[in-house]
Chains A and B, each alone.
Chain A
Amino acid sequence: MIYFDNVSKVYSAGTPAITDITLGIEPGEFVSIVGHSGAGKTTLLKMLFAEESPTTGSVLFNERAIHELTNRELIQMRRQIGTVFQDFRLLPTKTVYENIAFAMEASGRPDEDIIADVPYVLELVDLADKMWNFPKELSGGEQQRVAIARAIVNQPDILIADEPTGNLDPINTYEVVQILKKINDLGTTVLLTTHNRNVVDSVGKRVVTLDQGRIVRDDQSGKYSF
């Protein structure tokens, strides 16, 4: 499904962010990518949704090289990928409902689907009662759950979560991890980056460890190894 084929990325200052990464991810997998800050986790994910392009090598999604896609194809591809970030990245002037509806509208979904699915997905993350609130009126954990709801509402093939628990307390962290596991159980591939030991250990699935831009471990049922 996803294949990093000998990928390296060097930023303009000449420092390599990642070096010779070769990594395959199959449909339905839950992969945690761990490593210290600056290990290259976020760079790896950014290449997946084409925010960065590799200096050498290529990144394949469903056997197509992402960086060779046309703008139109890229938009289509982004609709198959759900994204969750540490800083939530919600639209501040839109309500919780509108934030999620926007993602559906952008994908061209009809109004009937939106009216039915938005409350359903908010129910799933236990935020049905905050539907008409603005993001700034929610706690960090709630905002992250909205971001997850938005990421999964279009039933993407893969959910990318970049340090989703980085700004959360242990209780919210636990809840977010549980939601991610549930999404994975429903068949969505989940790609998670984190430096939180408890998160990785509680997931108990495949762990890829990065250090200074290189893969140093890839355990099918691993634990946090730093």
Chain B
Amino acid sequence: MSAWVTAKRITRYGLIGFFRNGFVSLAAILIMTITLFVMGALIVGSAALNATLEQLTEKVDVNVYFYTDAPEQGMLDLKQQLEALPEVAVVTYVSRDEALTRFRERHKNDQLTIQALDELEDNPLGASLAVRAKETHQYESISKFLEGSAAASGEGDARIIDKVNFSQNKTAIDRLSEIIKTSQNLGTTVAVILALASILIAFNTIRLAIYTSRDEIAVMRLVGAGPWYVRGPFVVSGILYGIASGLFVLMVLYPLAAWLAEPSEQFFGNFNTLTYVTDNIFMIVGAIIGTGILLGAVSSYGAVHRYLRN
């Protein structure tokens, strides 16, 4: 008998079992829907957490303030040196004029300060460099690099750095690093525990569904069915549970993401659930339906296996 004929027969009996054991199938699909929904929520939830953490990380930087008479070339050279460091993500140069414009803008409602500024003949503000590291814990080494540079500790004209604000911000940066690390670890742990718990529940539901068929399995063996002929239809039914539950979850997840789009943007700042789901639709569909198929097939395979032992 060809493999094609066997596959066709197994698939047919899998479909028959799926539809004729309607109540058992429904129960398995419901439980698997919850499992896959938890998975979907975890995917979107962890993306929201990561986006928030990324946003926080972006807000941290180290500023290098130059003397007002520092030559522009020296500052730009330092900028280049910083950009060459592997730890550095972005260096932004703020010229004296730009610093003044920003200052005026920031204090436009503070007449007294603006008047005092106008009294001065010269621009009192120095240029600065805003340095952003790839990881928050890398600020320390960047700061050390700056301290050791000729611009900070050199003699005479070579010394152009007035102040580096790392030590002032050190506690805040360390604390933020710690929070980000803990949130990521906690997020991963919670995700793994939830995923494991829901997978176990789904696995047990399928095991229970197949337990009701144990006599049927014994009869199949008695009439001379080989292990794959017995197991195959159950695995096919398990795959169908996975596909059906996956589709249910997607049908719920998409409208839910649309509904939560605005609140999520308000809460997380730069994270929109609908945009995320739409942009990553193939990954999400693949992950949810793929997990469903794998879970259904593996659970069914395992559950039937114990009844096939001689």
Contact = CB atoms under 8 A, between A and B. Distances in A.
Of the four ranges (under 10, 10 to 19, 20 to 34, 35 or more), the interface on chain B belongs to: 20 to 34
A105 interface: yes
Nearest to A69: B310
Interface string A66-83: 000001101110110001
Interface of chain B: mostly helix, strand, loop or mixed: helix
A78 B223 CA distance: 6
A154 interface: yes
A93 B16 contact: yes
A91 B220 contact: yes
Of the four ranges (under 10, 10 to 19, 20 to 34, 35 or more), the interface on chain A belongs to: 20 to 34
B225 interface: yes
Contacts of A107: 224
Contacts, number: 56
Nearest to B230: A106
Given A74-B310, A89-B219, A111-B5, A102 B225 contact: yes
Nearest to B218: A89
A75 B226 contact: yes
Interface in B214-235: 215-216, 218-227, 229
Given A74-B310, A98-B16, A90 B223 contact: no
B21 A78 contact: no
Contact of A150 (B16, B21, B223): B223
Contacts of A224: none
B310 A50 contact: yes
A170 to B, nearest CB: 27
A2 to B, nearest CB: 17
Given A71-B227, A98-B16, A90 B219 contact: yes
Interface in B194-229: 215-216, 218-227, 229
A106 B16 CA distance: 16
A106 B219 contact: no
B134 interface: no
B224 A93 contact: no
B11 to A, nearest CB: 12
B222 A89 contact: yes
Given A49-B222, A106-B229, A93 B17 contact: yes
A90 B218 CA distance: 11
B229 A94 contact: no
Nearest to B229: A106
Nearest to A156: B224
A110 B6 CA distance: 10
Interface string A41-75: 00000000110000000000000000000011011
Contacts of B225: 75, 102, 106
B112 interface: no
Contacts of B13: 102
Given A75-B226, A93-B16, A98-B16, A105 B219 contact: no
B20 A93 contact: yes
B116 interface: no
B202 to A, nearest CB: 22
B224 A79 contact: yes
A94 B16 contact: yes
Contacts of B120: none
20 contacts: A50-B310, A74-B310, A75-B225, A75-B226, A76-B224, A78-B221, A78-B224, A89-B219, A90-B219, A91-B216, A91-B220, A93-B16, A93-B17, A94-B16, A102-B13, A103-B224, A106-B223, A106-B226, A150-B223, A154-B224
Report, nearest first, the 6 A-B pairs whose CB atoms are least far apart.
Answer: A79-B224, A106-B225, A108-B1, A78-B224, A103-B223, A93-B20
Given A106-B223, A150-B223, 6 more contacts: A72-B226, A75-B224, A76-B224, A78-B223, A83-B222, A106-B225
